[in-house]
């Protein structure tokens, strides 16, 4: 049995940005009295990587573990952040000049917060300043933490080859004297999900090395982890095996909700890990499930990664007496994130507030959303009525097009003036364009200048708010044509062969300006036939000049042409000059 003693570490060893109490924890009474009116608070998080979120059951605080930026060639410095559930205000921020914080746990009393790092576990006490720490063998695979049965459990991965998918994994238990090994865990990355009392779930990460990962339910007593009470693999049931993202226990420990990125929501009987009779609706088809949590009343919050107005978050009840429709939230647009991050949903201990961490499509920006008094939220439906129309009728690359529509809010008064997001999808990919504000009568106009010829699909999204559910996206597909072009010529009525012929002209193109000067073809046709003259390059203002010694006397027709390009139609013009001797 290996043991390590705690040693004190003062604040000088890390960057302590903000703390409202000497030790960084906020002392005081529990959550404030229940709010009558629900609210929605959004906080931009100062991190570029998110690991885990836990709610302090005593102090009404949510703790977030992650990382921010890089130190040149060094690993990303860790971040341990705390926010008040009541209003989203910051309570503490620890900037750790070390690796990413991969796990965070809070003991049931709220007295101690633990952060998991590659080479240590730090602990922050409410009763004393600074941080204590336990040094461990370095683990670059992500150290998970869970406070279970009065003890802190943690994972320890060993990977000589650096391949975390095949790393050996053990469980450690932190005691007052130090820590000791609690025995092997499933191989590779392993997630820990603490349950009520002495319960803990171990979830093996899916990968090429482990296509059929295992779920295992254990109990913790006297600092030791029991053999698995129940285990389950899912690959034998006709699917590709579990792809774990998150899990949540019911308050009595009898039910497990598991977020599976492949199969969606799985409800399990905790005692056997078999399918449970309790039923909740999953997210819409095609939405990857990323996060789940259960509140003390049995209400379930389910997060995912959706696009447009498809819900990224639902809150629902399994109780048949609960007649309301599930609450639906869509995250779409700047300042909100586009999807729920893995393990990014947690109720407060009393179930009153819902904490949600969202991220953008690139996964390097994060926001904390707090839905206060979530069970008091009442939503009505919304819909785009009558479809979308566009003006002008002919859509041209590089020229403005206006999309007209109407949003029906079902008679509800939204929390704020509805704003829409709009996306154009064409051969160049998916491009977000300028959205619009909905007028009092529900009408709106979205403007765009398509950049490519061909088929383009416009998708208008209304994400809803606390009072209004998201609307199903309004979609319009148009054919984008090449812009028109034209050539005008100014030629003399007569000219002599001795003096030559000079014709001036202008090439005009619509839509997108030309990247390179246009080169025109010139043909002179007289009584002796047609002659191709030297090409002419157009100036920046579109002007050009054709000079020629006429091939013959009599009427000579000069034809100037441009074949066009990918975004512009071609053009041609002719002028006839009577040529004298």
- Inter-residue contact 396 to 485 (CB < 8 Å): no
pLDDT score for 113: 93
Q: Please tell me the chain's helix, strand, coil percentages from 3-state DSSP, rounded to the nearest 5.
A: 0, 50, 45
What is the average per-residue pLDDT within 74-89?
87
| Alpha carbon 160 to chain centroid, angstroms | 33
pLDDT score for 548: 93
| Mean pLDDT of the chain, nearest integer | 87
Q: Verify that 389 and 498 share a domain, yes or no.
A: no
For the residues of 313-352, what is the DSSP string, one character each? EEEE---TT--SPPEEE---STTT-SEEEEEEEEE-TTSS
pLDDT score of 541 more than 90: yes
Q: Verify that 127 and 101 share a domain, yes or no.
A: yes
pLDDT score for 27: 39
CATH number at residue 400: 2.60.40.10
Q: Which stretch of DSSP H or E encloses residue 61? A: strand 61-67
Whether the link from the prior residue into 392 is cis, omega within 30° of 0, is yes
Q: Per the structure, how many domains does the chain have? A: 3
CA distances 145 to 63, 67, 154, 223, Å, are 13, 17, 5, 15
Q: Verify that 527 and 497 share a domain, yes or no.
A: yes
Phi, psi of 376 (to 5 degrees): -95, 0
pLDDT tens for each residue of 277-318: 988 999 998 899 999 999 998 999 999 999 889 999 999 987
CATH number at residue 513: 2.60.40.2470
Q: Verify that 463 and 490 share a domain, yes or no.
A: no
Q: Verify that 437 and 543 share a domain, yes or no.
A: no
Last residue of a domain, one of 98, 114, 136: 136
DSSP three-state, residue 133:
strand
d(CA 430, CA 434): 13
pLDDT tier for residue 25 given thresholds of 50, 70 and 90:
very low
What is the average per-residue pLDDT within 2-12?
31
Q: How many residues does the chain have?
A: 581
pLDDT score of 483 more than 90: yes
Q: Verify that 419 and 503 share a domain, yes or no.
A: no
pLDDT score of 28 more than 60: no
What is the average per-residue pLDDT within 426-449?
92
pLDDT score of 32 more than 60: no
In eight-state DSSP terms, residue 207 is: B
pLDDT score of 338 more than 80: yes
d(CA 461, CA 18): 38
d(CA 267, CA 257): 5
Q: Residue 99: how many CB atoms within 10 A of its CB? A: 21
pLDDT score for 353: 94
d(CA 368, CA 350): 19
pLDDT > 90: percent of the chain: 61
CA nearest to 396, candidates 455, 513, 480, 477 = 480
What is the average per-residue pLDDT within 429-448?
92
Phi, psi of 204 (to 5 degrees): -80, 135
Q: Verify that 418 and 492 share a domain, yes or no.
A: no
Q: Residue 152: how many CB atoms within 10 A of its CB? A: 23
Looking at 18-32, 326-340, 418-432, 511-525, which range is the least confident one? 18-32
pLDDT score for 239: 64
Q: Tokens 């009408």 sit at which residue? A: 443
Query: Which residues form the domain of 38?
Result: 1-136
pLDDT tens for each residue of 209-224: 788 899 999 999 887 8
Last residue of a domain, one of 136, 157, 172: 136
- Inter-residue contact 480 to 396 (CB < 8 Å): yes
Higher pLDDT, 100 or 338: 338
In eight-state DSSP terms, residue 468 is: B
CA distances 528 to 550, 552, 557, Å, are 11, 7, 12
pLDDT score of 507 more than 80: yes
pLDDT score for 19: 36
| Alpha carbon 540 to chain centroid, angstroms | 43
pTM: 0.84
pLDDT tens for each residue of 345-392: 999 989 999 999 999 988 899 999 999 999 899 899 999 999 999 999
CA atoms within 13 A on the CB side of 81: 28
d(CA 257, CA 51): 20
Structure-token pair, residue 459:
């998708």
CA nearest to 307, candidates 425, 415, 402 = 425
β-pairing, 395-396 vs 474-481, is: parallel
Q: Verify that 17 and 93 share a domain, yes or no.
A: yes
**Nearest-5° angle of CA 153, CA 154, CA 157?**
150
Q: Verify that 453 and 491 share a domain, yes or no.
A: no
What is the average per-residue pLDDT within 472-486?
96
pLDDT score of 29 more than 50: no
What is the average per-residue pLDDT within 28-37?
48
- Inter-residue contact 169 to 157 (CB < 8 Å): yes
Higher pLDDT, 497 or 559: 559
Q: Verify that 438 and 512 share a domain, yes or no.
A: no
pLDDT score for 320: 64
pLDDT > 70: percent of the chain: 89
d(CA 177, CA 351): 35
Q: Verify that 388 and 513 share a domain, yes or no.
A: no
- Inter-residue contact 536 to 545 (CB < 8 Å): yes
d(CA 353, CA 222): 33
């Amino acid at each position: 049995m290996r043991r390590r003693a705690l040693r004190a570490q003062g604040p000088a060893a890390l960057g302590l940005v903000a703390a409202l109490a000497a030790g960084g924890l906020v002392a005081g009474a529990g959550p404030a009295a229940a709010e009558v009116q629900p609210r929605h608070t959004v906080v931009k998080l100062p991190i570029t990587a998110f690991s885990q979120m836990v709610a302090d059951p005593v102090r009404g605080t949510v703790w977030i573990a992650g990382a921010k930026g890089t130190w040149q060639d060094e690993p990303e410095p860790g971040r341990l952040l705390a926010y008040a559930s009541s209003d989203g205000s910051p309570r503490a921020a620890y900037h750790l000049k070390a690796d990413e914080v991969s796990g965070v746990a809070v003991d049931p009393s709220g007295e101690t917060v633990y952060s998991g790092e590659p080479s240590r576990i730090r602990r922050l006490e409410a009763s004393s300043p600074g941080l204590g720490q336990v040094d461990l063998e370095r683990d670059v695979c992500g150290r998970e933490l869970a406070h279970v049965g009065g003890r802190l459990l943690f994972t320890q991965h060993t990977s000589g080859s650096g391949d975390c998918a095949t790393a050996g994994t053990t469980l450690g238990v932190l005691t007052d004297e130090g820590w000791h090994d609690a025995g092997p865990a499933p191989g590779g990355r392993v997630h820990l999900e603490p349950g009520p009392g002495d319960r803990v779930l171990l979830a093996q990460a899916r990968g090429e090395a482990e296509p059929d990962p295992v779920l295992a339910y254990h109990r913790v007593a006297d600092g030791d982890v029991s053999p698995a009470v129940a285990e389950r693999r899912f690959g034998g049931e006709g699917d590709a095996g579990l792809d774990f993202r998150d899990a949540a226990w019911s308050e009595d420990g009898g039910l497990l909700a598991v977020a599976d990125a492949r199969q969606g929501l799985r409800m399990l009987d905790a005692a056997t890990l078999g399918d449970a009779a309790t039923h909740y609706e999953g997210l819409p088809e095609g939405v990857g499930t990323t996060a789940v949590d259960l509140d003390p009343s049995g209400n379930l919050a389910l997060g995912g990664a959706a696009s447009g107005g498809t819900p990224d978050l639902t809150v629902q009840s399994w109780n048949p007496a609960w007649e309301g429709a599930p609450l639906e939230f869509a995250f779409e647009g700047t300042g909100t994130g586009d999807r729920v991050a893995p393990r990014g949903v947690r109720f407060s201990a009393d179930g009153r507030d819902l904490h949600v961490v969202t991220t953008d499509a690139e996964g390097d920006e994060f926001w904390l959303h707090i839905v206060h008094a979530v069970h008091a939220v009442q939503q009505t439906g919304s819909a785009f009525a009558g479809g979308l129309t566009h003006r002008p009728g002919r859509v041209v690359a590089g020229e403005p097009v206006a999309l007209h529509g109407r949003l029906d809010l079902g008679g509800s008064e939204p929390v704020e003036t509805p704003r829409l997001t709009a996306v154009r999808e064409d051969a160049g990919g998916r491009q977000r364009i300028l959205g619009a504000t909905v007028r009092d009568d529900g009408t709106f106009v979205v403007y765009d200048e398509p950049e490519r010829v061909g088929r383009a699909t416009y998708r208008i999204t209304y994400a809803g708010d606390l009072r209004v559910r998201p609307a199903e996206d309004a979609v319009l597909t148009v054919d984008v044509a090449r812009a028109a072009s034209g050539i005008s010529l100014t030629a003399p009525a007569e000219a002599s062969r001795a003096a030559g012929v000079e014709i001036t002209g202008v090439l005009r193109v619509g839509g997108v300006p030309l990247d390179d000067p246009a080169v025109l073809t010139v043909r002179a046709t007289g009584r002796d036939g047609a002659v191709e003259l030297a090409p002419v390059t157009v100036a920046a203002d579109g002007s050009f000049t054709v000079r020629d010694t006429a091939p013959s006397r009599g009427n000579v027709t000069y034809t100037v042409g441009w074949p066009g390009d990918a975004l512009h139609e071609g053009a041609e013009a002719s002028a006839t000059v009577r040529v004298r001797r």
